[in-house]
Structures are given as C-alpha cells and as structure tokens.
C-alpha cells in the first residue's frame, strides 16, 4: 500500500493533536536484523533444532534445549527474550503476533535490509529509488536528520550499526548525524571506548560487512553516558547473518544476547537522572524471513535471478515481509501483547516523533509517511 501526499494530508491534520506534551525527550530505537516474529512470540522451534546437524553435537544440543526449549510458546519466548516478556510485556506494548491477529508488515516491495531500514527511519517505502543493499546515499531524510535539523536537538542525535551500510542509509554527511558502523573505531575518550576499539581490531567477525553486536551496543552505551542525547539509533545485526548462515542455534542465541543487551541498557537508563522517566524505547526489525519450511527461514528478500532455463524470475519467501515491534516508556500505556491490531514498518518514525511530542515530516515529494500508532502514545 502506498499513501500519496494528498490522501495523507487529512490523516496528518487529524493527528495534529499529537503536538501535545509528552514526558519523553529521548528515544532509543533498537533494531534486531531479520528477527522473525515467530521466535519473538513463540520462542525457538524444535523442528529447527532437533535435526541431525545439531543432535550430532550431543552436549551442545542438550544444553541448548535445556536453556531454550519449553512446552508452551509463552514459556519458550520468556526464556529466549526475557526482557521483552517481562519488562516490555508488563509495562509496554508488543505488536506483530499473528497467532493473535496482530499483523506487522513492511510496506516496501523488497523485504531486505536497506529498504527496510529506510522505511523504519524515513517513514516511507521508496520502492523506485531504494532497490538494493548497495552503498547508495539515501535521497530521503531520516528521523535522525529531521531532528538534527532542529535547534533543540542539533548534535544530540547519533546512530550505531553493526552493518557497514548504515552511514549511507542515514546519509551521515548530509544529515550531520554521526554514524558509527561496520568496523569503524569510535571516537571517545573513555577507557571503555579505548578497550572496545582495541578489541574490535583483535576479535574476528564471522562476516565481511557486519561486526559483532557487542561493539555496536558498547559504543552506543558510551555515547549515551558521555552526554544527554535525544535520539539514539542502535542497529544490531548478528541475528540476520547467523540465520543466512543456517545456524539456527546461533540465531536464537544472538536474539537472546540482543534482549539481554537491551535489558542492561534500559536498566542503566533508569538509573541516570538525564534519562530516567524521560526515555522511550522502541524495538523492531527490518524484515521477516521465510516461513514455509525448514529451508526458507534462512532467506528473505525479492531479488531478480536467472533460472536454469535462462528466463528471469524474482525470489519469493512467503512471510519475509512480516515484522513485529515493541514500545516501552513513560508515554506508552501498558497494554502488553496486543491482539487484533495491525501495524506497518512505516509507522515507526512518526510514532517515535509523537512520543517526543512532535509531528514527523518526511521529505518525499509524492509519497507520504505512515500514521502514528496512536495506541502506543498516551494522550
Ligand atoms: Zn538478510
């Protein structure tokens, strides 16, 4: 679905009440790359794990099952992502459990990362211009650039990504927003930054373009500590790459580590008077993954390819446009796991702005951004 500007004008007018006062003056947005809603809401699936490749590693298989396998979906998800299913489920909101009629979807055509992240950050799906994961400077303005253009937030916006394409998605130079991504060292004068920079050179990443998330989260924490920031974007990447590699156990363990890292960050934010009671957390993902068989969960995305007979086709993995999202903070009513309500990825940026008491403005001439998720913002 594509909203045109003229059509959306009435929508944004009816949303103008959102320029109201909110408690939030900082938003921390975290994405967990290609994390399926199936694991978020059902926990690990033993069909994936009770296979020869895993069973052969007897001790690992037993340890993994002991840690992550339970009889019910509610128990399994709670051991996989305990922060989501305690703090967020208790005090915030979770969207995207299709088992309960809450569908989350991307609106872009491609179902892979660059278009997904751009949709999250700009509120629009620019299907004409954003057609690959190449390092192309985003022609559209993200919420980071929009905020950084306002005197009140200038210099108070930063982004951290495990994937080295984020400086292009955010359009770092034009935006004037620092983006630390890929294998870049971070500029900072704390002891911890120095240690992370040193380790980043010494610890090998399994991937060419994606670093391990501990560095991304570690640098982001130091940035938040150094000075009061108003918008921090943290893009974690391990889940997607372990999934592409076909390592379901590592994918699940990466999800567990992501949840723990976010839990630690949230706990620290509640102890710092600059952030406590004034910070909203949003967690989401850029796309889903295949859901049809044990094979397609590794994959996602609509890519053109040449078939054996020489004709061309476009890849298709059912379910890879399905996403989820979570909200937590002083302006989000506690509704826990939401049932029967549909959300789309282009609603993240407008909703983040609304949590800060602002009405998001995208930069596209024709397309219009998604609507605010009103139920996630207390009026
Ligand atoms: Zn991927």
C-alpha 87 – ligand 1 centre gap (Å): 28
Contact 227, 155 (CB under 8 A): no
C-alpha 328 – ligand 1 centre gap (Å): 26
Alpha-carbon dihedral angle through residues 192, 195, 200, 205, given to the nearest 10 degrees: -80
C-alpha 285 – ligand 1 centre gap (Å): 11
CA distance to 29, 141, 230, 236, 305, per residue, from 152 (Å): 19, 18, 9, 28, 47
Q: Take residue 13 and report the two structure tokens written for it.
A: 């007018």
C-alpha 148 – ligand 1 centre gap (Å): 29
C-alpha 378 – ligand 1 centre gap (Å): 34
Contacts of 106 (CB under 8 A, 6+ apart): 115, 116, 119, 125, 286, 287, 288, 321, 323, 344, 345
C-alpha 167 – ligand 1 centre gap (Å): 18
C-alpha 112 – ligand 1 centre gap (Å): 6
Give me the residue spans of the domains in the chain.
2-376
Tell me what pLDDT residue 17 has: 40
C-alpha 239 – ligand 1 centre gap (Å): 9
Place of tokens 């128990």: 75
Place of tokens 């298709």: 316
Residue length, the chain?
379
202-235 pLDDT, tens digit per residue, is 999 999 999 999 999 999 999 999 999 999 999 9
C-alpha 166 – ligand 1 centre gap (Å): 14
The topology under which CATH files domain 2-376 is Alkaline Phosphatase, subunit A (3.40.720)
C-alpha 244 – ligand 1 centre gap (Å): 6
C-alpha 238 – ligand 1 centre gap (Å): 10
C-alpha 67 – ligand 1 centre gap (Å): 26
CA distance to 158, 229, 292, per residue, from 351 (Å): 18, 18, 32
C-alpha 258 – ligand 1 centre gap (Å): 17
C-alpha 291 – ligand 1 centre gap (Å): 14
Distance of CA 104 to the CA centre of its chain: 13
Question: Read out DSSP for 230-299?
Answer: SEEEEEE-HHHHHHHTT-HHHHHHHHHHHHHHHHHHHHHHTTSTTTTTTEEEEEE-S-----SSTTGGG-
Q: Take residue 51 and report the two structure tokens written for it.
A: 């296979």
Contacts of 29 (CB under 8 A, 6+ apart): 120, 231, 232, 233, 234, 282, 283, 284, 348, 352
Residue 304: pLDDT band with limits 50, 70, 90: confident
pTM of the model: 0.94
Residue 379: pLDDT band with limits 50, 70, 90: confident
154-167 pLDDT, tens digit per residue, is 999 999 999 999 99
Residue 3: pLDDT band with limits 50, 70, 90: low
13-38 pLDDT, tens digit per residue, is 444 444 569 999 999 999 999 999 99
**How many angstroms separate the CA atoms of 40 and 94, rounded?**
10
C-alpha 245 – ligand 1 centre gap (Å): 10
Please report the sign of the dihedral spanned by the C-alpha atoms of residue 25, residue 26, residue 31, residue 36: negative
Average predicted confidence (pLDDT) for the chain: 94
**How many angstroms separate the CA atoms of 36 and 297, rounded?**
9
């Amino acid at each position: 679905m594509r909203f045109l500007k003229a059509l959306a004008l009435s929508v944004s007018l009816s949303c103008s009440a959102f320029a109201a006062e909110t408690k939030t003056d900082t938003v921390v947005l975290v994405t967990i790359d290609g994390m399926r809603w199936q694991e978020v809401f059902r926990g690990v699936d033993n069909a994936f794990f009770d296979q020869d490749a895993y069973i052969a590693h007897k001790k690992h298989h037993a340890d993994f099952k002991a840690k992550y396998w339970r009889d019910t979906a509610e128990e399994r998800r709670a051991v996989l992502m305990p922060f989501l299913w305690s703090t967020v489920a208790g005090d915030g909101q979770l969207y995207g459990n299709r088992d309960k009629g809450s569908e989350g979807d991307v609106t872009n055509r491609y179902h892979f990362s660059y278009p997904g992240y751009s949709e999250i950050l700009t509120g629009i799906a620019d299907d004409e211009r954003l057609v690959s994961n190449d390092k192309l400077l985003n022609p559209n303005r993200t919420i980071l650039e929009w905020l950084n253009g306002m005197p009140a937030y200038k210099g108070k916006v930063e982004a951290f990504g495990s994937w080295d394409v984020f400086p292009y998605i955010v359009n770092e130079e034009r935006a004037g927003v620092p983006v630390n991504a890929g294998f870049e060292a971070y500029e900072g004068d704390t002891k911890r930054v120095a240690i992370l920079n040193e380790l980043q050179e010494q610890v090998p990443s399994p991937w060419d373009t994606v670093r391990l998330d501990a560095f991304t989260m570690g640098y982001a924490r130091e940035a938040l500590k150094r000075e009061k920031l108003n918008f921090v974007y943290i893009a974690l990447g391990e889940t997607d790459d372990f999934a592409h590699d076909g390592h379901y156990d590592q994918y699940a363990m990466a999800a567990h580590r992501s949840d723990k890292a976010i839990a630690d960050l949230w706990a620290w934010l509640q102890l710092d008077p600059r952030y406590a009671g004034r910070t909203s957390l949003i967690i989401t993902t850029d796309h889903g993954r295949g859901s049809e068989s044990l094979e397609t969960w590794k994959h996602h995305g609509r890519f053109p390819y040449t078939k054996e007979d020489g004709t061309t086709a476009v890849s298709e993995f059912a379910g890879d446009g399905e996403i989820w999202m979570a909200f937590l903070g002083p302006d989000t009513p506690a509704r826990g796991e939401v049932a029967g309500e549909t959300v789309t990825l282009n609603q993240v940026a407008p909703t983040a702005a609304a949590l800060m008491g602002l009405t998001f403005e995208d930069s596209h001439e024709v397309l219009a951004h998604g609507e605010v998720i009103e139920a996630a913002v207390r009026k």
